[in-house]
C-alpha cells in the first residue's frame, strides 16, 4: 500500500470474462494505495489471467465455480480480506480513479456506496436509449416497492464495508447481482449513499449482457425479494444523494 489516504484496507474485486485487451487500461486507473486486487475469472478463453498477473504482481485470481457475473462477484467478495470492498468492471467502463469517492462516502458514514450515472456529476457514454429506459423503469419499480430513492439500479460500480456481506447474503448468478445488492442493502437498513460516476464505453470486445433476458431476471428479482423473509422490517435509511 502506498500513501494510503485512509486507515482502512481496501479490496477491489474485478469480474472478468475474456477481457485481456481491456485489463491494461483498467488496471492503469487503480490507485497505488489499493491493498488487494482480486480478479475473478469466468474461465476466459483468452489471456485474461496471464495479462492480469503480468500487470499486477500480487494479484489474487479466483476462478469462479459457476457461470455469470453474479456468481463471479459473490465468490470474489468471499475471498476479499479488506475492510472495504469495491467492485469494478474489467471492460474499461468503470474508472478506478473514482474509487476515492466511493471510499470517502464509506469513511464519512455510509454502509454502502452506490455508483450512479444519473446523480449530478455522473454520466454514461455506454448506455443505449433502450437500456437507459429499461434501467429507469426498473429503478422506479424498486423505489416504489422498497421505499428507496435510487437513481440508477443496474450499475456495476459500488463499494461497501465487508462486514455487511452477511446482511446481503448474496446468492444469485447473473447480472441481477447489482439489483439484489441494492434491494437487500435497503432491506437490511444499511445507510446507502449514491456516488456520481461516469461510465465509459467498453473499450474492446463484446458485451455479455442481453437487455431483454437480463432485464427480466432483474424484474423477477425485484418482485421475488418483496416476499423474502427478512430478520427485520424494511426500513430504509437512505442519505440524500451527494452532489
Ligand X SMILES: Nc1nc2c(ncn2[C@@H]2O[C@H](COP(=O)(O)OP(=O)(O)OP(=O)(O)O)[C@@H](O)[C@H]2O)c(=O)[nH]1
Site for Mg ion in 183-222 (CB under 5 A): 202
Strands 123-124 and 60-63, how do they pair?
A: unpaired
> Which residue from 10, 36, 52, 68 is in contact with ligand X, where contact means CB under 6 A?
68
Site for ligand X in 23-42 (CB under 6 A): 40-42
Site for Mg ion in 59-98 (CB under 5 A): 91, 93
H and E: helices and strands count for the chain? 8, 9
Number of residues that bind Mg ion (CB under 5 A): 3
Measured from the CB atom, the residue of 149 and 202 that comes closer to Mg ion is 202
Alpha helix ranges (H) inside 14-116: 23-28, 48-55, 69-79, 99-107
Site for ligand X in 77-96 (CB under 6 A): 89-91, 93
Record the cell numbers describing residue 210, joined without a space. Answer: 442481453
Q: Contact letters (x/-) for ligand X, 112-141, by CB under 6 A?
A: --------------x---------------
75 binds, among ligand X, Mg ion, none (CB under 5 to 8 A by kind): none
Measured in whole angstroms, how far is the alpha carbon of residue 97 from the centre of its chain?
Answer: 15
Q: How many CA atoms lie within 13 A of 168 on its CB side?
A: 27
| Closest CB 215 distance from ligand X, rounded Å | 11
Integer CA distances (angstroms), 113 to 43, 125, 126, 191, in order? 29, 22, 21, 9
| Closest CB 42 distance from ligand X, rounded Å | 3
**135 — phi, psi (to 5°)?**
-65, -40
Measured from the CB atom, the residue of 16 and 186 that comes closer to ligand X is 16
Quick count: other Cβ atoms within 10 Å of Cβ 45?
Answer: 9
Site for ligand X in 171-230 (CB under 6 A): 202, 207-209
| Closest CB 202 distance from Mg ion, rounded Å | 5
Sequence-distant (6+) residues with CB within 8 A of 107 are 6, 8
Q: Which residues in this chain contact ligand X in the complex, by CB under 6 A?
A: 15-17, 19, 40-42, 64, 67-69, 72, 89-91, 93, 126, 156, 202, 207-209
Q: Which residues in this chain contact Mg ion in the complex, by CB under 5 A?
A: 91, 93, 202
Amino acid at each position: 500500500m502506498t500513501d494510503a489516504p485512509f486507515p482502512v484496507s481496501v479490496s477491489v474485486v474485478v469480474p472478468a470474462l475474456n477481457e485481456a485487451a481491456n485489463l491494461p487500461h483498467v488496471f492503469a486507473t487503480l490507485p497505488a494505495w489499493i491493498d488487494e486486487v482480486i480478479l475473478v475469472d469466468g474461465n476466459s478463453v483468452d489471456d485474461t489471467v496471464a495479462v492480469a498477473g503480468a500487470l499486477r504482481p500480487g494479484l489474487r485470481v479466483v476462478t469462479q465455480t459457476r457461470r455469470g457475473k453474479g456468481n463471479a462477484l459473490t465468490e470474489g467478495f468471499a475471498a476479499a480480506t479488506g475492510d472495504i470492498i469495491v467492485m469494478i468492471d474489467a471492460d474499461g467502463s468503470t474508472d478506478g480513479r473514482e474509487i476515492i469517492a466511493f471510499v470517502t462516502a464509506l469513511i464519512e458514514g455510509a454502509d454502502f456506496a452506490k455508483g450512479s450515472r444519473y446523480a449530478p456529476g455522473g454520466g454514461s457514454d455506454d448506455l443505449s436509449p433502450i437500456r437507459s429506459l429499461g434501467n429507469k423503469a426498473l429503478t422506479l419499480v424498486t423505489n416504489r416497492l422498497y421505499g428507496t430513492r435510487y437513481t440508477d439500479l443496474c450499475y456495476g460500480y459500488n463499494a461497501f464495508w465487508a462486514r455487511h456481506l452477511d446482511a446481503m447474503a448474496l446468492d444469485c448468478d447473473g447480472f441481477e447481482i447489482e439489483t439484489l445488492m441494492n434491494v437487500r442493502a435497503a432491506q437490511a437498513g444499511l445507510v446507502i449513499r449514491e456516488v456520481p460516476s461516469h461510465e465509459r464505453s467498453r473499450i474492446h470486445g463484446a458485451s455479455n449482457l442481453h437487455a431483454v433476458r437480463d432485464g427480466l431476471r432483474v424484474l423477477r428479482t425485484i418482485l421475488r425479494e418483496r416476499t423474502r423473509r427478512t430478520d427485520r422490517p424494511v426500513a430504509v435509511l437512505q442519505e440524500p444523494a451527494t452532489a
